[in-house]
Amino acid sequence: MSSFCEDRVVIVTGAGRGIGREYALMLADHGAKVIVNDLGGARDGTGADLGPADEVVNEIKAAGGEAVANGSDVSDFGQAKEMIQQAIESYGRLDALVNNAGILRDRMLVNMQESEWDAVIQVHLKGTFAPAHHAAGYWREQSKAGNPVDARLINTSSVSGIYGNPGQTNYGAAKAGIAAFTVIASRELKRYGVTVNCIAPGALTRLTEDLQPGEITDEMREAQSPRWIAPIVTWLASAESRDVTGRVFEASGSVLAIAEGWHRGPTVAPVSDPTTLGPIVRDMVKQARMNAGMNGKDFDGGLE
């Protein structure tokens, strides 16, 4: 067992399966004490079962690590607070929170139901805000009390949010919101000794396997394994990353990159007459860089 994250106390939400499970296992392997949160719901967010979280905890303990299970619904404000408190009561403090829990209810905009929109926004966006709010409050209290704080907030966006994927207006809106949340929170929490970063992961998990066209080969499973994402999260949760904040990292078995956010493009003086705007706007559009497609490069206008 490595000592890279020795004695760091880390909460990982949605850690019973997939990407979150890999985070929890690698963090524990590097010496972190892990609170393994998972509601244990289905892919669409229905149901609850502590079994997946317990299984990961047992795996960590069998390897000589320390972990406790937590079955909180991270989108419930009160339960999110209890989860933060459990970490503090179990291990004496909290050093990092990894917001990873999520669900999918994909649908084209014209077919999307209100309930499908609400559920995805609730789990992803509020499920990031609620734990982050309570963790930030704890770290602020520690800082104001004169206790040294070297804490990490690590959120989860998606290329579907920062680049845009048809059929995922609900999921993409939530994930784009989380990317903006990350940038803003990093500026607010820096004074308390907290860095805030974000991961846009790419991997084959139970949420994404049936979205892949054609047969999934063993080679594809290895290339898109969640294990490729865990190293950057482990590094960000460590003490070594204290000088990096406000960044969105795209991570998968094929790339590790920093996604660069919105910047002002072609600019003209204000125009008072809307009838004159046609040629002006078209010229600005012609000069402007294209929005990125799902590959992180210029979008060609087609469905990807």
pLDDT of amino acid 171: 96
pLDDT of amino acid 196: 98
pLDDT of amino acid 304: 43
For 282, counting Cβ atoms within 10 Å of its Cβ (0-12 exposed, 13-18 middle, 19+ buried), the class is exposed
* pLDDT < 50 regions, the chain: 303-304
Read off the tokens for 23.
Answer: 């985070």
Residue pair 199/12 in contact by the 8 Å Cβ criterion: no
Q: Is 44 helix (H, G, I), strand (E, B) or coil?
A: coil
- Cite the residue boundaries of each domain of the chain with CATH code 3.40.50.720: 9-259
pLDDT of amino acid 42: 65
pLDDT of amino acid 213: 57
Residue positions annotated with a catalytic role: 171
Q: Is 3 helix (H, G, I), strand (E, B) or coil?
A: coil
pLDDT of amino acid 277: 97
Q: Fold for 9-259, please state it.
A: Rossmann fold (3.40.50)
CB atoms within 10 A of CB 247: 18
217 phi and psi angles, rounded to 5 deg? -90, 165
What are the residues whose beta carbons fall under 8 Å from the beta carbon of 80, sequence distance 6 or more? Answer: 72, 73, 74, 127, 130, 131, 133, 134
182 phi and psi angles, rounded to 5 deg? -60, -50
117 phi and psi angles, rounded to 5 deg? -65, -50
pLDDT per position as a tens digit, 12-56: 999 999 999 999 999 999 999 999 999 986 656 666 778 999 999
pLDDT per position as a tens digit, 215-226: 766 666 666 788
pLDDT of amino acid 299: 67
